[in-house]
Amino acid sequence: MSDQQILQLPLKVEVKFPLADGRTLVQGPLTYNSDGLATRHNCDFIKDPAFAAAYRVGASGGRADLHIEWRVHVALWVAGQAAQLEGDFVECGVNTGILSGAIMSALDFSKWPDRKFYLLDTFAGIPEEQITAAERTAGVSGMNRKYQDSDLYAAVQQKFAPWPSAVVVRGRVPDTLSAIKSTRVSYASIDMNVVEPEIAAGEFLWPLLVPGGFVLLDDYGWAAHVNQKHAWDEFARRHGISILALPTGQGLWMKPR
Ligand SMILES: C[S@@+](CC[C@H](N)C(=O)[O-])C[C@H]1O[C@@H](n2cnc3c(N)ncnc32)[C@H](O)[C@@H]1O
């Protein structure tokens, strides 16, 4: 049967709102439909020139087809709160630096020469030996194609050169965590797509995090990253914290005050 014949089948799906139980579910007009999130809620932040400028900086050198505005909006809010505390910033899993580039630009990091922003990545993708069988089954290995660009390290060094407090660290987490010389951290973004280095980073950062310091988990709610969700939930139980699941797929936790 050809595709055209399939389309001609008398398929009629009709959903009447409200549903019998009174729910209306999401109906258009949608204000945002990108990156796994469709909503009719207000997202005027996208039109804010300051947001747009920071987003442009973050997105520079990255994939033009990627629209992760709401995730960046969340990261900017978290970073803005963390900036009111004493402490350095850390990102484990930087790639082209969308989140961290947007943050350094929006918060104007050049005004804080003493506040370091550590940027850790292999700049060569996820180490194969860190990908478990369960993660392989979930499709994590396939993601590596996007992260293995031989020019990436040089490009990221150049992108962050305007901010002297940016410390770009190339290598495998957890081996490189000792490059973080901070005694206090108020913001950490963890985005490495696999359990092993993420939880190692979480354990390393735990004693350094100041009370009220934030950790933003990029992959927490994404279906392909459910192994990370389970590992972070276990981490949360161990440390007596809870993780906020955000509709962007991110997770957020705070070191208790
Ligand atoms: C989804 S990307 C990060 C995107 C980034 N947060 C952004 O805002 O653009 C994941 C990155 O994690 C890195 N990565 C994965 N495992 C790692 C490890 N064990 N050590 C260091 N980097 C790792 C990969 O090289 C890849 O660049």
The CATH number that applies at residue 40 is 3.40.50.150
pLDDT digits (tens), the chain, 257 positions: 334 444 455 566 677 788 889 888 888 899 999 999 999 999 999 999 999 999 999 999 999 899 999 999 999 999 999 999 999 999 999 999 999 999 999 999 999 999 999 999 999 999 999 999 999 999 998 888 889 888 999 999 999 999 999 999 999 999 999 999 999 999 999 999 999 999 999 999 999 999 999 999 999 999 999 999 999 999 999 999 999 999 999 999 999 99
The pLDDT assigned to 15 comes to 72
Predicted pLDDT at 109: 95
CB 118 within 8 A of CB 179: yes
Residue at 66 is within a domain: yes
Phi and psi, residue 57, nearest 5°: -65, -45
pLDDT of residue 148: 86
Tell whether 56 is covered by a domain.
Answer: yes
Smallest CA-to-CA distance from 177 within 205, 199, 215 is with 205
Pocket perturbation via mutation, ligand 1, pick of 104, 132, 193 by most ligand atoms within 8 A of CB: 193
Environment class of residue 219 by beta-carbon count within 10 Å: exposed (0-12), middle (13-18) or buried (19+)?
buried
117 domain-assigned: yes
Q: What is the DSSP letter of 114?
A: T
Asked if the structure places residue 213 within a domain, the reply is: yes
Let me know: does 185 contact 88? Beta carbons within 8 Å: yes
- Among 68, 90, 150, 192, name the best residue to mutate to test ligand 1's pocket (greatest count of ligand atoms within 8 A of Cβ): 192
Indicate whether 67 belongs to any domain. Answer: yes
Q: Which of 63, 96, 122 to mutate to test the pocket of ligand 1 (most atoms within 8 A of CB)?
A: 122
Q: Select from 250, 235, 231 the least CA-distant residue to 70.
A: 250
The answer to whether position 109 is within a domain reads yes
**Tally of CA atoms within 13 A in the half-sphere of 197 that contains its CB:** 26
For residue 212, being part of any structural domain is answered with yes
| Predicted pLDDT at 16 | 75
**What are the angstrom distances between the C-alpha of 241 and each of 37, 107, 197, 214, 227?**
26, 28, 20, 12, 19
Nearest CA to ligand 1 atom 22: 121
172 alpha carbon – ligand 1 mean position (Å)? 10
pLDDT recorded at residue 222: 97
Flag whether 68 is in a domain: yes
Structural domain tally of the chain?
Answer: 1
Question: What domain range is 65 assigned to?
Answer: 35-254
Q: What's the whole-model pTM score? A: 0.93
pLDDT the model gives residue 7: 45
Euclidean distance between CA atoms 104 and 6, whole angstroms: 51
